[in-house]
Amino acid sequence: MGGGVALLDYNNDGLLDIFLVNGGNLEDPQAVPADFRRGDPAYWNRLYRQNRDGSFTDVTAAAGLSHAGNGYGMGVAVGDYNDDGFPDLYVTNYGRNILYRNNGDGTFADVTEEAGVSAGGWSVSAGFLDYDNDGRLDLFVSRYLDYDLSRNLLCGTPFRSYCRPDKYEGTTNLLYHNEGSGHFRDVSVKSGITSARGKGMGVAFNDYDGDGFPDIFVSNDLMEQFLFHNKGDGTFEERALEAGVALSDDGKPFSGMGVAFADYDNDGLPDITVTDLALEKYILYRNDGDGHFSYASNATGLAGLTARSSGWGLGLHDFDNDGWKDLFVAQSHVLDNVERINSALQYREPPGLYRNLAGKFEKSALASLPPVAGRGVAFGDLNNDGAIDAVVAVLGGRPMILRGSANRNHWLILKLIGSRSNRDGQGAKVRIGKQSVYVTTAGSYLSASDSRVHFGLARDSHAAIEILWPSGTRQILNDVAADRIVTVKEPQ
């Protein structure tokens, strides 16, 4: 299921760096709780600093990120939770999670215990969001199963395979409120998040009903999906079934993996895309604008393109800068012996790129990419050329760095700095013409993408930009020249 990847500029030099989450070595499978000993450098998470020439240097040990505890690494979230101008890291594990505070000098400190966010159990994806718009980033954690090694089952005949998730009980997700003093308070019960027990995988945020408060979508494995509607009073109500995003078009649950909560059809409303396993087809829910969604996988062509693929991390980004968000997916089946079960399927797959043609998708060729066991994927512009790049975490292999190709279309990248809102500007809504982008590092699967906002402008050399900050401030920037990175500060 692991691992995750993050793109972040940890040292504020203007270049994106790469953080990768690693697994662990289980020496005693009978030990409860499990002890994944990660003193061996082979099992460390890794931080790679980007150099000016586009190469990367492993700075894991120098940054204080070696060892990584005794949990099995899963995912990562990125956000400046203490508003000091430097992005912090939250790493999820099977076991104790870890919050790394960025010290601002190239190093990180494990502040998990003092912050109160160690969690426990089987955490999967996580993300920072300001759910109550108080100017501080809070933290959401998805969790998978109520599981430990003492309850491990033997599944599969005539040869062993991973057990289906319905063999185990689900568990609750977690929500931590940022108290503003370096400490978080667990509000999972008080907020209503624990009212729904699931088998959480991916998590993404957006304001699907336009009430000014971020809502939460959690993809669940082989059960109903969750849409937590933010009621604006610090509580949430799970509304996936009512909103039409709980099940597939046949009324059945599917194996929800990753999720993108973004507007694919340029109508200004955030839609929901969920990856799943082969023979289920990727799920696209179109936002109808009345609090409900319509199943759109068939109408957009996505169902036919993905029926035999298995997807994990994903993102909707404008890779060709034509003004329409395309879909990129890290792909691979969950069963490494799936060919023995169904010869028509395959374990390893190349990543999938599906070009958006004004609301319809077509498959695009990715040049000579090998089949891999892709899992997490993060997005951002590594070389600041206006073309979005992707970094794919590969299970049992080296990560893939896929660089976007610049073309003659114009572009803009915006770096938001909040004042009354959180410093990252997470939760802001940015519009250029018919395009809209919600500012967030969360989404995909196990991963965190660049917090900067990218727009493809096609042939337009200038743009008018509208920003609705989480504080409620509306900011207009007129006649902004294209093909550059612009820093935008929230008005006081």
pLDDT level of residue 491 (50, 70, 90 thresholds): very high
pLDDT level of residue 53 (50, 70, 90 thresholds): very high
> Is the confidence at residue 159, as pLDDT, over 80?
no
Phi, psi of 484 (to 5 degrees): -160, 165
Pairing of strands 138-143, 174-178: antiparallel
The pLDDT mean for the chain works out to 97
Residue 269 buriedness (CB in 10 A; 0-12 / 13-18 / 19+)? buried
Among 400, 372, 377, which Cα is nearest to 447's? 377
Which amino acid makes up residue 76? V
Least confident of 64-78, 144-158, 247-261, 394-408: 144-158
With beta carbons less than 8 A apart as the criterion, state whether 67 and 83 touch: no
Residue 462, both tokens = 């200038």
The 10s digit of each residue's pLDDT in 363-414 is 998 878 999 999 999 999 999 999 999 999 999 999 999 999 999 999 999 9
Angle, CA of 435, 295 and 208, to the nearest 5°? 45
> Is the confidence at residue 30, as pLDDT, over 80?
no
pLDDT of residue 150: 81
Residue holding tokens 């995912």? 75
Alpha carbon distance 207, 230 (integer Å): 9
CB atoms within 10 A of CB 327: 29
pLDDT of residue 394: 98
Beta strands in 103-253 (DSSP E): 108-110, 123-129, 138-143, 174-178, 184-186, 200-206, 215-223, 226-230, 236-238
The 10s digit of each residue's pLDDT in 292-341 is 999 999 999 999 999 999 999 999 999 999 999 999 999 999 999 999 99
Among 216, 178, 210, 176, which Cα is nearest to 196's? 216
Over residues 436-462, the mean pLDDT reads: 99
Alpha carbon distance 71, 43 (integer Å): 11
pLDDT of residue 276: 99
Which amino acid makes up residue 206? N
Q: Note the Cα 182 to chain centre separation in Å.
A: 24
Alpha carbon distance 259, 304 (integer Å): 19
Q: Note the Cα 118 to chain centre separation in Å.
A: 20
pLDDT level of residue 156 (50, 70, 90 thresholds): confident
Over residues 41-49, the mean pLDDT reads: 97
Question: What radius of gyration, in Å, describes the C-alpha atoms of the chain?
Answer: 21
pLDDT of residue 37: 83
Phi, psi of 68 (to 5 degrees): 70, 30
CB atoms within 10 A of CB 74: 29
pLDDT of residue 47: 99
The 10s digit of each residue's pLDDT in 260-275 is 999 999 999 999 999 9
Per-domain boundaries in the chain: 5-408
The size of the chain, in residues, is: 492
Alpha carbon distance 110, 113 (integer Å): 8
pLDDT level of residue 176 (50, 70, 90 thresholds): very high
* Superfamily covering domain 5-408: YVTN repeat-like/Quinoprotein amine dehydrogenase (2.130.10.10)
Least confident of 210-214, 232-236, 365-369, 421-425: 365-369
With beta carbons less than 8 A apart as the criterion, state whether 449 and 443 touch: yes
Residue holding tokens 């036919």? 304
